[in-house]
């Protein structure tokens, strides 16, 4: 695509506006266009595509400088995207970037991640949208490779666009030795052994969410977990049409249907 | 499928354990098997597949009687399902029912709904899972048709099973005149005009989430919105593999990929 104006890029995340990941991303993509950041005012990990309807949402201008405006928001990542599109931006953005997330959003994490929830929301609005995550949860995580490859995929997406209803889930492996970008599929698997039982200060049972990922297809070289294990940046195109088209013919045989 | 034991059915929702919809559903399906209810202790609408990791989760036994045990939980709908499978149930349930939701979860609402989040979670665990919603938000909503058709689809699912990675999204139209069950696809569309600007008691701006659904394919007779508009119960099979398989070949042509 060619742009008459500078591309307008909406940036959000689920770790909050002060997180290192989003700020490293903003520095890295400053040259790509006009950047508007609308991100939660604190951590919203695991918020999926949650929306806030019971409470009102507040939006605060954090800073405004040349081609960079930053807002914080009391809502979820999806609320941030919705506020951006409906209330803040003068026109539809050319690109939405969510991240850089602290920790992997590969495989089945696409269901739980607020970062990917934000990317889906951009996609629902017809905006080329990308979730970017670094598979490193440590406070000293090195975002160098994630910024480098995040910028490349952002540039390529501005150049080529994405089909309607498709967004990208980009996961970058930990470490300095990254082999490059690889197109992948969402790894089949689930989280198991999910709770740690503990007691509160009065002796009552409480459960802490934890868990281990069970990979159901560890040998699938097309899967995003395989790519990450082998040093590649995994790029999975995701779609918002969740209809199980392959099952339509079969379920119609159930005798209950008209 | 034939069952040696009574089928074990896990029931949850996103409107809370005291909501009318879930209690009408429980009454309606009591004869189908052993029922274990684990539902949020209050409203969790719009929670999508959100999970609770920052706070511990609490589980409280509400009642236990013949083939019916009811727990309330401080977490999200997905937390309820995870607690059920990991901590409460002695074996994997034969069926998961989420609902009956107060209000439609058709079309793009599959992304925001806690009810559908719960159904996806059951599906991730390999449990035949169904989200059931009534397209009526009023406090006096009549759940008769939703219970009737929810039970039929639950029975058929116990009988036939569902393919791995597929769950069902069932939406029942408002009113007494329901024409029957129809297999559908997820309607393409999005929510627009999403916020109402207001002021708090100090005069500061606040935003209330609201919105209107824009149907991008009003004439598609296969879509769930069309079915609901024409008096049918819409049954959409949804899948948890979100990979946009149709775009893999095309994106691999981008010159950045290995």
Residue A111 and residue B125 in contact, taking contact as beta carbons nearer than 8 Å: no
CB pairs under 8 A between A and B: 234
Q: Which chain A residue's Cα is nearest to B59? A: A206
Cβ within 8 Å, pair A83-B207: yes
Cβ within 8 Å, pair A183-B257: yes
A163 in reach of chain B (CB within 8 A)? yes
Give the mean model confidence (pLDDT) for residues A107-118.
Answer: 98
A117 in reach of chain B (CB within 8 A)? yes
Sign of CA dihedral B155, B158, B159, B160: positive
Provide the whole-model pTM: 0.97
- The vertex-B45 CA angle with B43 and B50, nearest 5°, equals 105
A204 in reach of chain B (CB within 8 A)? yes
* Number of residues that make up chain B: 258
The share of chain B scoring above pLDDT 70, in percent, equals: 99
Give the mean model confidence (pLDDT) for residues B54-76.
Answer: 97
Sheet containing B68-73: order of strands: B59-65, B68-73, B34-40, B8-12, B95-102, B129-134, B166-172, B233-239, B181-183
B35 Cα to chain A: minimum distance (Å): 23
Residue A233 and residue A181 in contact, taking contact as beta carbons nearer than 8 Å: yes
pLDDT value for B256: 95
Residue whose structure tokens are 């695509």:
A1
Give the mean model confidence (pLDDT) for residues B53-72.
Answer: 97
pLDDT tens-digit series, residues B103-132: 999 999 999 999 999 999 999 999 999 999
β-pairing verdict for B95-102 and B8-12? parallel
Cβ within 8 Å, pair A57-B232: no
Residues ≥6 apart with Cβ < 8 Å to B100: B13, B21, B22, B24, B25, B132, B133, B134, B143, B146, B147, B150, B172
All domains of chain B in start order, with CATH? 8-187+219-251 (3.40.1210.10)
pLDDT tens-digit series, residues A194-215: 999 999 999 999 999 999 999 9
pLDDT value for A106: 98
Q: 3-class DSSP state for residue B252?
A: coil
Helix (H) or strand (E) holding A27: helix A20-29
Give the mean model confidence (pLDDT) for residues B224-247.
Answer: 98
**Residue A90, phi-psi category: left (phi > 0), alpha (psi -120 to 50), beta (remainder):** alpha
Give the mean model confidence (pLDDT) for residues B222-230.
Answer: 98
Question: How far is Cα A202 from Cα A220, in angstroms, rounded to an integer?
Answer: 48
Sign of CA dihedral B136, B139, B144, B147: positive
Q: Which two tokens stand for residue A185?
A: 């599929």
Q: Which two tokens stand for residue A98?
A: 């969510």
Q: 3-class DSSP state for residue A9?
A: strand
Cβ within 8 Å, pair B209-A57: yes
Per-residue pLDDT band for A1 (boundaries 50, 70, 90) equals low
pLDDT tens-digit series, residues B204-220: 999 999 999 999 999 99
C-beta neighbour count of B176 within 10 angstroms: 7
β-pairing verdict for A205-209 and A195-199? antiparallel
Question: How far is Cα A225 from Cα B96, in angstroms, rounded to an integer?
Answer: 28
**Contacts A195 to B, Cβ<8 Å:** 57, 82-83, 86-87
Complex ipTM more than 0.95, yes or no: yes
pLDDT tens-digit series, residues B168-195: 999 999 988 899 999 999 999 999 999 9
Residue B84 and residue B34 in contact, taking contact as beta carbons nearer than 8 Å: no
B31 Cα to chain A: minimum distance (Å): 19
pLDDT tens-digit series, residues B132-178: 999 999 989 999 999 999 999 999 999 999 999 999 999 999 988 89
DSSP states of A81-114 as a string? HHHIIIII-SS--SEEEEEEEES---GGGGGT-H
Nearest CB to A256; choose among B156, B205, B206: B156
| B3: pLDDT strictly greater than 90 | no
Cβ within 8 Å, pair A252-B183: yes
pLDDT value for A258: 74
CA distances from B31 to A61, B25, B57, B162 (A): 56, 11, 31, 21
Nearest in space to A11 (alpha carbons), one of A163, A129, A161: A129
Q: Tell me the sheet residues that pair with A73.
A: A40, A59
C-beta neighbour count of B164 within 10 angstroms: 12
Residue A134 and residue A141 in contact, taking contact as beta carbons nearer than 8 Å: yes
Per-residue pLDDT band for B1 (boundaries 50, 70, 90) equals low
* Number of residues that make up chain A: 258
Question: DSSP letter at B237?
Answer: E
Residue B203 and residue A54 in contact, taking contact as beta carbons nearer than 8 Å: no
pLDDT tens-digit series, residues A71-85: 999 999 999 999 999
Residue B92 and residue B124 in contact, taking contact as beta carbons nearer than 8 Å: no
C-beta neighbour count of A25 within 10 angstroms: 27
Nearest in space to B184 (alpha carbons), one of B102, B106, B127: B106
Nearest in space to A82 (alpha carbons), one of A61, A102, A113, A59: A59
């Amino acid at each position: 695509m060619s742009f008459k104006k500078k591309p307008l890029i909406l940036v959000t995340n689920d770790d909050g506006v002060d997180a290192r990941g989003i700020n490293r991303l903003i520095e890295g993509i400053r040259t790509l266009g006009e950047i508007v950041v609308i991100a939660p005012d604190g951590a919203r990990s695991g918020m999926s595509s949650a929306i806030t309807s019971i409470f009102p949402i507040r939006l605060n201008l954090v800073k405004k400088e040349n081609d960079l405006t930053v807002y914080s928001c009391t809502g979820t990542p999806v609320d941030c995207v919705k506020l951006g599109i409906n209330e803040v931006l003068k026109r539809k953005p050319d690109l939405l970037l969510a991240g850089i997330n602290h920790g992997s959003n590969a495989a089945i994490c696409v269901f739980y991640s607020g970062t990917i929830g934000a990317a889906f929301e951009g996609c629902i609005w017809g905006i080329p949208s990308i979730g970017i995550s670094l598979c490193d949860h440590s406070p000293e995580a090195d975002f160098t490779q994630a910024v480098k490859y995040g910028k490349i995929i952002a540039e390529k997406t501005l150049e080529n666009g994405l089909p309607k209803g498709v967004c990208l889930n980009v996961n970058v492996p930990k470490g300095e030795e990254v082999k490059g970008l690889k197109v992948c599929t969402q790894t089949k698997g689930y989280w198991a052994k999910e709770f740690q039982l503990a007691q509160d200060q009065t002796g009552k049972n409480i459960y802490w969410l934890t868990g281990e990922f069970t990979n159901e297809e560890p040998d699938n070289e097309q899967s995003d977990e395989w790519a990450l294990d082998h040093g590649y940046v995994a790029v999975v195109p995701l779609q918002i049409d969740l209809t199980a088209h392959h099952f339509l013919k079969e379920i119609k045989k159930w005798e209950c249907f008209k």
